[in-house]
Amino acid sequence: MIDQFINFVIRPPRADYNPEQYLWEKEFTLAGRQFKRQDLELTNARGHKLRCSHYMPSPFPEETPLPCVIYCHGNSGCRADANEAAVILLPSNITVFTLDFSGSGLSDGDYVSLGWHERDDLKIVVSYLRSERQISRIGLWGRSMGAVTSLLYGAEDPSIAGMVLDSAFSNLFDLMMELVDVYKIRLPKFTVKMAMQYMRRVIQKKAKFDIMDLNCLKVAPKTFIPALFGHASEDKFIQPHHSDLIFKSYAGDKNVIKFDGDHNSSRPQFYYDSVSIFFFNVLRPPQISSACSSKLEKYYDLGDLKVGAGMDEDPMLSRNIRPDGDEQSNLQDKPNGQSDECCSYTSSNRESWGRCSSLGGSDEESSADCTAANNGNQVTLDVLATPLKSTQQKSSDPPKEEKKKQKKQKKQKKRDSTTPKPKHEKLEKLEALSKRLRLCILKRVSHRRPRST
């Protein structure tokens, strides 16, 4: 029974697959664009050959480096698990690199280490991508064992732009103790710790790592890479509290998403949307013109900020506010030549609105982006996602008609102040004053203070 549990940890069922059948084709079409799969082999520090695949546009854009996300599969997984990542990220001009870790899939090696040696495999992949001039920023997307691998490597390489950590475990020793109860392994309670010590020695001899050293809670407080955590609420293999512990101790910018399902269930669509938005914001892929340029979102240059002009905005965000409380909508028309297809929701929308918040930069930058101009009795608030021409017209001087009206009003005020008043008005005012004085004098004479008794 103990030997079976040891093999369950370091020698799980191995994925034996045909790359031509289970991976994307060498040349394929996705979202109306052409992509390709480039297979290659890398050698790690222990001399094991790693089978890898790199999904990228075909042809690759010249003189325009693209970001890349390395997908790290889980225990008993392989590089075919990255097919879903390719579908999500490739249309956003983000390339996807995937591999079979040592001891998994078609790569060399006899045992897996649940992230310990896989961290060195990931280091070889990152160094390879760094040597390629076509790759700019690098992100990591790991699931289960791959999430632990990404976290361990991210603590050593702060140049990683962002990480998605799906179903990571906090401590391997605690996980093994939980699995004893979950799978109802028949061992007396007083012998469990002794059995764990025996398993520790066997694993250290076979797989060349110590299970007590595999602790994500030690590296999480030292890691400052932006991270998105995900975990299924009904996961019994790696329970959700593992991600909660890592999330609490994680030092970098972080967010967590909980969803229905178990450890091996497919992830919901809103989780994939969140992953796509996260990588779009941290990797900042360039916008590449293609044959389907009409379907791409058009951008307008507002200084250092690029905002999609075709997104659906709340009318309350763009309005004229007057001192008397009246509100007037100030919606911008779409520019000429822009079709309804350009109004698709993309992650750039959230990026643009984040720049207008107090967390996006200094007070000077935010005040420069969200300007309020006072002209007479009217205050106008300019929204970020407006075309450049309209913003220039707003910021420029008021039109000639408004100037003429203001000049006429000033002239009328001057005339009123300079024209002499008629004599009868003066006489009426004098009579009114004299009456008030008589009344005041009469009241004072008739009024006497009563004596105190």
What would the pLDDT profile of 5-36 be if each residue is shown by its tens digit? 888 899 999 999 999 999 999 999 998 999 99
Average pLDDT over residues 108-129: 97
Q: Which domains does the chain have, with CATH numbers?
A: 1-10+27-286 (3.40.50.1820)
Of 113-127, 194-208, 237-251, the range with the lowest mean pLDDT is: 194-208
Average pLDDT over residues 285-309: 44
Tokens of 31: 């979202």
Residue 444 has pLDDT above 60, yes or no: no
Rounded distance, CA 352 to CA 306, Å? 7
Give the span between the Cα atoms of 287 and 284, in whole angstroms: 9
Distance between CA atoms of 288 and 91, rounded to whole angstroms?
11
How far CA 319 is from CA of 306, 325, 401, in Å, comes to 21, 12, 22
355-376 tens-digit pLDDT: 222 223 334 433 334 333 344 3
Q: What is the pLDDT of residues 194-235, one digit of tens each?
A: 888 999 999 999 999 999 999 999 999 999 999 999 999 999
pLDDT per residue over 251-276, tens digit each? 999 999 999 999 999 999 999 999 99
Query: What 3-state DSSP class applies to 333?
Result: coil
> In terms of pLDDT, which residue wins out, 332 or 85?
85
Res 243 pLDDT > 60: yes
Tell me, what amino acid is at 327?
E
Residue 57, beta-bridge partner list: 35
Share of the chain above pLDDT 70, in %: 64
- What does the angle CA 224 – CA 226 – CA 227 come to, to the nearest 5 degrees? 110
Residue among 101, 94, 104, 99 at smallest CA distance from 38: 99
Per-residue pLDDT at 440: 61
Q: Is the pLDDT of residue 69 over 50?
A: yes
> Among 125-129, 270-274, 381-385, where is mean pLDDT lowest?
381-385
